[in-house]
Amino acid sequence: MTRLILAPLLIAASPAPEPPKPLPSPPEIVAAAPAADWVAISASDLLVLDLAPLNAKPRRVIIQLMPPPFSQGWVGNIRKLAAARWWDGTSINRVQDNYVVQWGDATEKKALPPGLAVIPESEYSVKSRSIRASPFNTFLDASTYTEIGSIGPSLALSQPNGINRRDQYAVFNGFDQGWPFASSLANAWPTHCYAMVGVGRDLPPNTGSGAELYAVIGHAPRHLDRNIALVGRVIEGIEHLSSLPRGTGPLGFYEKAKERVPILSVRIGSEIADLPRFEYLSTESVSFARYADARANRRDAFFIQPAGGADICNIPVPVRRAK
């Protein structure tokens, strides 16, 4: 009891503590990252989706394809489909609110190009040991979890396990080569975050060819992880998909042919002469660790209560046009 009474007196006798200064926001940390922390994205790893113009304005959606070890069977098929100009003249056929935008051949009768691989379900994940180690990927197990009430705002850099890194869908999670993943002890898989691009399929054991694609435009549907292949993410132009009118049919399919959004062309980025260059913030960099910590513990002037954690899909990997 004595201590409870004395403490306020001691505080009153000391000089008033200065209020903590606001710390950089996530965008400020990203803007201050040195050039060496940015990694160029090869144009040959981009898929460029040109929709019919809207009000005379072009609509270009740029997708980054996923690198090894993830989903390379489907990515290979997608490269073949683009090379064959297979998507030219197809359309966006489904826009389901808080879920996905889906495109491909609405007739479901267009012949696929020869040589596409049939990929087994086992390719939805990879061995955990194929993920690169990094400071951020320090795998947490139950014994290192810290209850959020006792964490307080401390930098991830000095206390890498201090951030609440729980994952409701996995044992742990992290980033590899700029991509979010979740993992069990044995296997790792990419995660269905906003703007991720996946492969539509029929009922199992069908795994889809890659001809039917979707992009996530809502809260992360993580229940799709390990049930559908993810092959990339939209890095520019997502608004051309997310702001489309919602379909009124079951699952958000457009009910009338005229509602569909025509696709003019889909090309690999290296086929397009004037394409901007893109780069992502290395998820192995100190800048990224600081950014992720700031996403989990906002201390810029607007915030009064740092969260103490962030889910993997609330730490979007920064991607920008290269200067």
* Binding residues for a second copy, total number by CB under 8 A: 57
- Smallest gap from Cβ 297 to a second copy, in A, equals 9
Structure tokens at 35: 């050039």
Q: Toward a second copy, which CB reaches closer, 71 or 81? A: 71
Task: Report the b/e string of 134-162 with b at 16+ CB within 10 A.
Answer: bebbebbeeeeebeeeebebebbeeebeb
Strand 213-216, strand 172-176: pairing: unpaired
Annotate 296-313 with DSSP letters as a single string. Answer: HS--STT-SS--SB--GG
The answer to the question of residue 147 lying near a second copy (CB under 8 A) is yes
What residue type is assigned to position 171 of the chain?
Answer: V
Q: Which amino acid appears at position 148 of this protein?
A: I
Distance CA 140, CA 172 (A): 6
Residue closer to a second copy by CB (options 28, 239) is: 239
Token reading at 177: 């080569």
Q: How far is the CB of 292 from a second copy (least distance, A)?
A: 12
Give Cβ neighbours of residue 222 (< 8 Å, ≥ 6 apart): 168, 169, 182, 191, 192, 313
Smaller CB distance to a second copy: residue 82 or 131?
A: 131
Q: How far is the CB of 36 from a second copy (least distance, A)?
A: 28
Which ranges of 106-244 would DSSP assign to H, the alpha helix? 239-242
User: Closest approach of Cβ 88 to a second copy, in Å?
Assistant: 26
Query: Residue 270 Cβ, how far from a second copy at the closest point, in Å?
Result: 27
Question: Which range in 64-72, 102-110, 178-186, 265-273 contacts a second copy by CB under 8 A?
Answer: 178-186
* 170 lines the binding site for a second copy (CB under 8 A): yes
Q: 48, 126, 199, 310: which one contacts a second copy (CB under 8 A)?
A: 310
Of 230 and 310, which has the nearer Cβ to a second copy? 310
Contact letters for a second copy, residues 267-296 (x by CB under 8 A) = ----------------------------xx
Q: Considering the complex, state which of residue 253 and residue 303 has its C-beta at the smaller distance from a second copy.
A: 303
The CA distance from 179 to 192, in Å, is 11
> Could you tell me which stretch among 60-68, 132-140, 279-287, 298-306 binds a second copy (CB under 8 A)?
298-306
Residue 205, preceding bond cis, omega within 30 degrees?
yes
Chain positions 40 to 99 lying near a second copy, rule: CB under 8 A, are 95, 97-98
Q: Measured from the CB atom, is 86 or 136 closer to a second copy?
A: 136
142 lies in the site for a second copy, by CB under 8 A: yes
**How far lies 300's CA from each of 23, 277, 306, in Å?**
5, 31, 9
User: What's the residue count for the chain?
Assistant: 323
Interaction of residue 166 with a second copy, rule CB under 8 A: yes
Rg of the Cα trace of the chain?
23
Q: Which residues between 195 and 254 bind a second copy (CB under 8 A)?
A: 195, 203-204, 218-223, 225-227, 238-239, 242-246
User: Over the range 176-186, which residues count as b (16 or more CB within 10 Å of their CB) and which as e?
Assistant: bbbbbbbbeee
Least distance in angstroms from the C-beta of 147 to a second copy: 6
Q: Which residues in this chain contact a second copy in the complex, by CB under 8 A? A: 95, 97-98, 121, 124, 142, 145, 147-149, 164-171, 184-186, 193-195, 203-204, 218-223, 225-227, 238-239, 242-246, 295-296, 298, 301-305, 307-311, 313-314
